[in-house]
Amino acid sequence: MSKILIIEDEESIAELEKDYLELSGFTVEIENNGEEGLTRALEEKFDLLILDLMLPGVDGFEICKRVRKVKNTPILMVSAKKEDIDKIRGLGLGADDYITKPFSPSELVARVKAHLARYERLIGSGVQENEIIEIRGLKIDKTARRVYVNGEEKTFTTKEFDLLTFLAQNPNHVYTKDELFSKIWDMESMGDIATVTVHIKKIREKIEFNTSKPQYIETIWGVGYRFKM
Ligand code: CA
């Protein structure tokens, strides 16, 4: 059964959408706040997102942009203003569809079904998309274990790749060298936390434009490292 997340601050609209979608057999959850909606969209697995544009906290533009960086989940954007829809199209944020309020519930359900069907065909076609992390010109293809910086492929050793991927998957979180060492290297392996420093240095040489002013992996003096989102 397909699971849908509605991010919408007008509770009556969200409830109406939910009722109709549930009648069509979908599992539906609602978030009324942009920030919490974004967190759930990123951390949990939904088959489709219905995203209102104007939201408290983080708005629909930002949510769409952030989710698209890491997920292919179909996104249906909802707005009260026709002009906003034109703006979304212009921005090319990666939304799959747009709908203007007020809309008929049956139209919403029809569009949701169409997008889910298209997405399932894509997934089921065997042409599974690679799992990719993309942040400001840095592209990590987890499936193929390849790294590109502004479109140019860089060669990574296994541990360099694992370390970079781990940090990039957990952005804005400070890790100590000890934590990184125990996560990336198995405990029996030779080496110590200095290994982490050496690997970070090598990774920076490959991904940073200026290694003395890193834009991706930040050093938190006396603590460890943090991947900047
Ligand atoms: Ca709103």
Q: When comparing pLDDT for 27 and 79, which is higher?
A: 27
pLDDT at 143: 86
Average pLDDT over residues 2-30: 95
State in Å: Cα 80 to ligand 1 middle: 8
**pLDDT tens-digit map of 43-53:** 999 999 999 99
Query: What is the number of residues in the chain?
Result: 229
What is the separation of C-alpha 222 from the centre of its chain, rounded to a whole number of angstroms? 30
Q: When comparing pLDDT for 68 and 8, which is higher?
A: 8
Average pLDDT over residues 147-161: 92
Q: Give bridge partners of residue 227 from the DSSP assignment.
A: 217
Confidence category of residue 118, pLDDT binned at 50, 70, 90: confident
Confidence category of residue 105, pLDDT binned at 50, 70, 90: confident
State in Å: Cα 24 to ligand 1 middle: 24
Q: When comparing pLDDT for 56 and 4, which is higher?
A: 4
**53 vs 84: CA distance, rounded Å:** 8
What is the separation of C-alpha 161 from the centre of its chain, rounded to a whole number of angstroms? 19
Angle at 142 between CA 141 and CA 143, to 5 degrees: 95
Q: Among candidates 87, 74, 86, 79, which has minimal Cα distance to 103?
A: 79
State in Å: Cα 10 to ligand 1 middle: 6
What is the separation of C-alpha 72 from the centre of its chain, rounded to a whole number of angstroms? 9
Confidence category of residue 82, pLDDT binned at 50, 70, 90: confident
Tokens (6 digits) for 129:
């998309």
State in Å: Cα 133 to ligand 1 middle: 29
State in Å: Cα 189 to ligand 1 middle: 53
Is the pLDDT score of 188 beyond 60? no
Tokens (6 digits) for 219:
């050093």
Is the pLDDT score of 30 beyond 70? yes
State in Å: Cα 11 to ligand 1 middle: 9
Contact partners, residue 92, CB within 8 Å, separation at least 6: none
